[in-house]
């Protein structure tokens, strides 16, 4: 299931502090989705929908409040992820008969490079800190799995957590030693940690349901959503993993926060602890208007020339 904003829902990029006080990042209003801060924190990669429900990746310079369009095809490019050095954007591209992972230089130079075969519903999630792995979600008939794509060697995707349940997400910790993800193996979506490379051991982070995990830049805190409630969990890693009880921060009733799928976070966290959301003028206290597309890969194929054949 692919969830997107309706085209008329223009919004602004905003900072939100720990007291839920919002300040604008930009005066530019667009139909934003999946904002991601660059490693140095001065740029935002974000998917922007147009009036035809197409989407492209844009790079927004925060200091100058200047947006630059990165992709130009009349297809859907969404779910941007920064490489650790800030030189590349990996994203989901829908064309050539499917949805696959691709990358392009963040300065716009050079062509798109296809990273996977366009045969599955694949959504980019995060890079490992050493730049050697991309975590992504892959949906096949009957389930969704958490996958890893090595960027060295043959680049053959491999399962990381693949069961009969729904595993989504895959957010590397800043040191790369663990990944956070979402699974419904308990009967509802919960956030878990698992070591990388995988030892088979996992830790449950959320206790009453959880989606959309995001790490603090120092790796000591993991944030997630419980419905629209933004939660934080302190995590110690030495001498062993120790997880504190979840703490409620604030009600994140900003439009993008509660539109996300179970895995891909629709917000980000800056080094100074502020949160990056998007908000339209009537968001607070109002249930969002959403557009839900079931079997979204089939819908993407239908929009392609020749029906994706």
Q: What is the pLDDT of residue 52?
A: 78
- pLDDT of 236 reads 94
Using DSSP's 3-state secondary structure scheme, residue 300 falls into helix
Residue 234 has φ and ψ, to the nearest 5°, of -80, 135
Of 229, 265, 222, 221, the residue nearest 248 (C-alpha): 229
- pLDDT value of position 131: 96
CA–CA dist 103, 86 (Å, integer):
12
Distance between CA atoms of 165 and 161, rounded to whole angstroms? 10
Q: Which has more pLDDT, 299 or 118? A: 118
What CA–CA distance (Å, rounded) separates 22 from 20? 6
pLDDT at 255: 56
Cα distances (angstroms) measured from residue 190 to each of 184, 208, 223, 225: 6, 8, 12, 10
Q: What angle do CA 89, 101, 75 make, to 5 degrees?
A: 90
> What is the pLDDT at residue 175?
95
What share of the chain in percent tops pLDDT 70? 82
pLDDT tens-place string over residues 32-66:
888 999 999 999 999 998 877 789 999 999 999 99
Q: What is the mean pLDDT of the chain?
A: 85
Residue 170 has pLDDT above 80, yes or no: yes
Mean pLDDT on 109-123:
87
Instruction: Work out the angle at residue 213's Cα, subtended by the Cα atoms of residues 187 and 172, and round it to the nearest 5 degrees.
Output: 115
Q: What is the mean pLDDT of residues 153-176?
A: 92
- How do residues 226-275 score in pLDDT, each as one tens digit? 988 999 999 998 888 999 999 999 998 765 555 555 568 989 999 999 99
pLDDT at position 287 is: 40
Residues linked to residue 137 through DSSP beta bridges, in sequence order: 123, 146
**Mean pLDDT, range 93-119, rounded to an integer:** 87
pLDDT at 141 over 90: no
- What CA–CA distance (Å, rounded) separates 146 from 159? 6
Q: Are 10 and 280 in contact (CB under 8 A)?
A: yes
The whole-number pLDDT of residue 173 equals 97
> Does the structure show a pLDDT above 90 at 121?
no
41: tokens are: 């924190």
Scan for tokens 């890893």, then name that residue: 148
Q: Which domain holds residue 234?
A: 2-308
Token pair recorded at residue 27: 């005066």
Which of 26-30, 31-35, 55-59, 139-143 has the weakest average pLDDT? 139-143
Percent of the chain scoring above 90 in pLDDT: 59
Peptide bond into 66 cis (omega under 30): no
For residue 196, which of 214, 182, 177, 180 has the smallest C-alpha distance?
A: 177
How is residue 304 written in tokens?
């392609």
CATH number for 206: 2.120.10.30
Q: How many helical (H) and strand (E) elements, i.e. helices and strands, does the chain have? A: 1, 27
Q: What is the pLDDT of residue 261?
A: 56
Q: How many residues appear in the chain?
A: 309
Give the pLDDT score at 294.
44
- Compute how many other C-beta atoms are within 10 angstroms of the C-beta atom of residue 256: 27
Give the pLDDT mean for 82-101: 89
Whether 308 shows a pLDDT value over 70: the answer reads no
Terminal alpha carbon distance of the chain: 22
In the prediction, which pLDDT does 297 show? 52
* Beta carbons of 279 and 20 less than 8 angstroms apart: no
Quick one: DSSP state of residue 171? E
Inform me whether the pLDDT recorded for 289 exceeds 70. Answer: no
Residue 70 has pLDDT above 80, yes or no: yes
Q: Which of 21-30, 141-150, 298-307 has the lowest mean pLDDT?
A: 298-307
Mapped onto helix, strand or coil, the DSSP state of residue 86 is coil
Q: How many domains does the chain have?
A: 1
Residue 285 has pLDDT above 50, yes or no: no
Three-state DSSP at 307 gives helix
């Amino acid at each position: 299931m692919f969830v997107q904003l309706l085209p008329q829902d223009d919004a602004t990029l905003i900072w939100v502090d720990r007291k839920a006080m919002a300040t604008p990042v930009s005066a530019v209003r667009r139909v934003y989705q999946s904002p991601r801060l660059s490693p140095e924190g001065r740029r935002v990669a974000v998917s922007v929908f147009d009036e035809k429900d197409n989407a492209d990746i844009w790079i927004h310079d925060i200091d100058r409040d200047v947006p630059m369009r990165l992709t130009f095809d009349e297809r859907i490019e969404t779910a941007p992820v920064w490489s650790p050095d800030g030189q590349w954007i990996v994203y989901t591209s829908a064309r050539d008969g499917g949805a696959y992972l691709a990358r392009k230089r963040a300065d716009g130079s050079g062509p798109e490079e296809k990273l996977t075969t366009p045969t599955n519903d694949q959504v980019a999630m995060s890079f490992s800190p050493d730049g050697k792995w991309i975590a992504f979600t892959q949906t096949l008939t009957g389930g969704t799995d958490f996958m890893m794509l090595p960027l060295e060697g043959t680049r053959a995707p491999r399962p990381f957590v693949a069961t009969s349940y729904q595993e989504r997400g895959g957010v590397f910790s800043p040191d790369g030693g663990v990944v956070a993800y979402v699974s419904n193996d308990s009967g509802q979506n919960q956030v878990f940690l698992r070591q990388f490379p995988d030892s088979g051991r996992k830790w449950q982070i959320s206790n009453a349901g959880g989606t959309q995990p995001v790490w603090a830049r120092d790796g000591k805190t993991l944030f997630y959503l419980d419905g629209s409630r933004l939660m934080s969990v302190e995590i110690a890693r030495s001498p062993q993993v120790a997880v504190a009880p979840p703490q409620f921060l604030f009600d994140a009733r900003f439009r993008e926060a509660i539109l996300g799928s179970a895995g891909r976070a629709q917000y980000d966290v800056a080094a100074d602890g502020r949160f990056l959301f998007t908000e339209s003028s009537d968001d607070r206290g109002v249930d969002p208007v959403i557009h839900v597309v079931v079997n979204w890969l089939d819908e993407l194929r239908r929009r392609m020339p020749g029906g994706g054949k």
